[in-house]
Amino acid sequence: MLDKLSPQPADKILMLMQMFREDPREDKIDLGVGVYRNPEGVTPVMRAVKAAEQQVWETQTTKAYTGLAGDPAYAEALGKLILGTSVESERTSAIATPGGTGAIRQAMELIRMAAPEATVWVSQPTWPNHLSIIKFMKMPMAEYTYFDNATRQVDFDGMMADLEGVKAGDVVLLHGCCHNPTGANLTEEQWGKVADHLLAKGAIPLIDIAYQGFGDGLEADAAGTRLLASRMPQMLVAASCSKNFGIYRERAGLLIAISPDAKAQPTVQGNLNYLNRQNYSFPPDHGARLVMTILNDDKLTADWKAELEDMRTGMLALRKQLAEELRQRSNSDRFDFLAEHRGMFSRLGATPEQVEALRRDHGIYMVGDSRMNIAGLNAKTVPILAQAIVDAGV
Ligand code: HCI
């Protein structure tokens, strides 16, 4: 049996991580994998997370199983953080999942189970794991235009033109905020138009929200998701706590399903629980427990929000500095988009050869499509990157 297996393609982002580790150059710069780093290059354990861990350590009396959906207090607290008051809680169901990837995978399982014919529409480009999971599950998939490579802005007309092809019951995967890999995001007005369109088509949005708090702030970053939640009869939300709580390896994610009415909710919740049971029984609890401990404690919440806000504004400052350095060095405004983009990532718009030259000649690592992790920079490395970008002829 095992001799029948053929090699699988490696994840390009994780491969880049390995290449960076093996590069002996001391001045190398890692702009690859989407992990926040502070100006010292450290991915810190957030203060509120440390405090919550201490609290859990002191008060937790058992490690017995939670429930198939995880602790309901986690879903309630995180659900409120994401959805606010946009939808009646009687219509929502949720399961804790192993990270945001787990939530995406379970969302796809639910879609395939309920509507095997439904096409899942993904932005072009999107996070490579979306494509990989959908292909692996052999689900019908289509792409919609999202990014204009020339302007490095959202090509909204192209997006809406492609979404004309959506059929009733299809699922449209949208990034809630901080689009990965481009950094280009929909305006509130555009979210409204997307909602009108999906409503008219009878389509179901699946929102992947993995960077809430990294763009324009916790509330602003949830605005598109909330707008859709307030208007759509049905919707799925796959959320991750990896980045905004900095608990990557704890694998804390959540899949929320919004049903048309309260009557449908128990069956939806039952199906979500069933899917957890089929795949891993009980979801991991430690990360989820930290999140709910923080969100159910005013002091911890305030401290978490303050630290998250420092991270967000730090990334914004790096964006502004980089755009400014490039403006001076290139004598043009063609890199101003870097200050307009939001979240951890921006797609620079370099060719694969230029990306390769940046790695070979300057020890600067970005993903092959020229996605840069802004959090991999600091005030000292920004001018180095700017000069290298100009030298590479981008
Ligand atoms: C990212 O870099 O896009 C997010 C982090 C990640 C990358 C590859 C697999 C899982 C998570």
pLDDT digits (tens, 9 = 90+) for 276-297: 999 999 999 999 999 999 999 9
pLDDT for residue 117? 98
Average pLDDT of the segment spanning 226-230: 98
> With b meaning 16 or more CB within 10 Å and e meaning fewer, what string describes 66-94?
bebbbbebbbbbbbebbbbebbeeebbbb
Atom of ligand 1 nearest to the CA of 373: 2
pLDDT at residue number 165: 98
Q: What is the pLDDT of residue 352?
A: 96
pLDDT at residue 99 tops 90: yes
In the CATH scheme, what is the code of domain 10-46+310-391? 3.90.1150.10
Q: Which of 30, 162, 170, 208 is catalytic?
A: 208
* C-alpha 13 to ligand 1 mean position (Å): 7
Render pLDDT for 307-339 as a digit per residue (tens, 0 to 9): 999 999 999 999 999 999 999 999 999 999 999
pLDDT digits (tens, 9 = 90+) for 140-197: 999 999 999 999 999 999 999 999 999 999 999 999 999 999 999 999 999 999 999 9
Q: Quote the pLDDT of residue 9.
A: 87
CB-ligand 1 contact for 11 (6 Å cutoff) = yes
Q: What is the domain class of 65-296 according to CATH?
A: alpha beta
Mutate to test the pocket of ligand 1, among 33, 182, 372 (most ligand atoms within 8 A of CB): 33
For the chain, percent of residues with pLDDT exceeding 90: 98
Region 68-91: mean pLDDT is 98
* Cα(265) to centroid(ligand 1), Å: 32
The answer to whether 4 is a known catalytic residue is: no
Q: Decide: 335 in ligand 1 pocket, CB within 6 A.
A: no
- The average confidence (pLDDT) of the chain is 97
Q: What is the pTM for the complete model shown?
A: 0.97
Q: What is the mean pLDDT of residues 15-21?
A: 93
Burial pattern 229-250, b for ≥16 Cβ within 10 A else e, equals bebbebbbbbbbbbbbbbbbeb
**Dist. CA 363 → ligand 1 center (Å):** 21
243 is catalytic: yes
Computed over its alpha carbons, how large is the radius of gyration of the chain? 21
pLDDT of residue 11: 87
Question: How far, in Å, is the centroid of ligand 1 from the Cα of 11?
Answer: 9
pLDDT of 88 strictly over 90:
yes
Task: Show the tokens assigned to 4.
Answer: 């029948």
Torsion of CA 257, 259, 264, 267, to 10 degrees: -10
Predicted pLDDT of residue 347: 97
**Catalytic entry in 69, 77, 107, 210:** 210
Please give the distance, rounded to the nearest whole angstrom, from the Cα atom of residue 390 to the centre of ligand 1.
27
Residue 344: what pLDDT? 97
Tokens 């998250």 correspond to what residue?
A: 308
pLDDT for 33 equals 94
pLDDT band at 80 (very low <50, low <70, confident <90, very high): very high
Q: Which residue has the tokens 């491969």?
A: 15
132 CB near ligand 1 (under 6 Å): no
Rounded to whole angstroms, how far apart are CA atoms 327 and 342?
19
Q: Give the phi and the psi of residue 386 in degrees, each rounded to 5.
A: -60, -45
Q: Is residue 50 among the annotated active site residues? A: no
Domains of the chain: which residue ranges? 10-46+310-391, 65-296
Residue range 33-46, pLDDT digits in tens: 999 999 999 999 99
| Number of other residues whose CB lies within 10 A of the CB of residue 2 | 4
| The dihedral sign for the CA sequence 287, 244, 249, 84 | positive
Write down the residue that tokens 């999971």 correspond to: 133
Neighbour-count burial of 57, counting CB atoms closer than 10 A to its CB (0-12 exposed, 13-18 middle, 19+ buried): exposed
pLDDT value, residue 98: 98
Is pLDDT at 96 greater than 90 in this prediction?
A: yes
The confidence score (pLDDT) of residue 127 equals: 97
Name residue 31's amino acid. Answer: L
* Residue 155 annotated among the catalytic residues of the structure: no
- Can you tell me the distance from the alpha carbon of 81 to that of 304, in angstroms, rounded to the nearest whole number? 13
Q: Is pLDDT above 90 for 365?
A: yes
Q: What is the pLDDT of residues 181-204, one digit of tens each?
A: 999 999 999 999 999 999 999 999
Cβ–ligand 1 contact at 314 (below 6 Å): no
Can you read off the two tokens belonging to residue 12? 């390009």
